[in-house]
């Protein structure tokens, strides 16, 4: 995932759009994968928060959205590494 600047309105809109594309079921899959990877309780808890706020990024701070989307990127890149 490219590095996004949360202070740039365009980058923030991109992050929010990516966040809002995920459903609660998608977030549940990310939570299960994060638990299997041993990502730590803080990361798991923020993913659970994302699951509760699925599709409504306007209630999360830009910093939290960036954190969550970075976790999603790590989880997805870990899955890609396993498939190879």
Mean pLDDT of the chain: 92
Q: Is residue 2 part of a domain?
A: no
Count of the separate structural domains present in the chain: 1
Range of the domain at 16: 9-83
Q: Is residue 67 part of a domain?
A: yes
Dist. CA 76–CA 83, nearest whole Å: 11
- Write down the pLDDT at residue 3: 82
Dist. CA 25–CA 8, nearest whole Å: 29
The predicted model scores a pTM of: 0.88
Mean pLDDT to the nearest integer, 6-24: 94
Q: Is residue 4 part of a domain?
A: no
Residues 48, 54, 60, 65, Cα dihedral to 10° = 80
């Amino acid at each position: 995932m490219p590095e996004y600047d949360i202070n740039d309105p365009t980058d923030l809109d991109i992050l929010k759009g990516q966040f809002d594309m995920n459903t609660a079921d998608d977030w549940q899959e990310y939570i299960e994968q994060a638990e299997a990877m041993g990502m730590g309780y803080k990361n798991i808890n923020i993913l659970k928060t994302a699951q509760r706020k699925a599709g409504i990024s306007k209630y999360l701070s830009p910093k939290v959205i960036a954190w969550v989307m970075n976790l999603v990127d790590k989880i997805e890149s870990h899955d890609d590494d396993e498939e190879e």
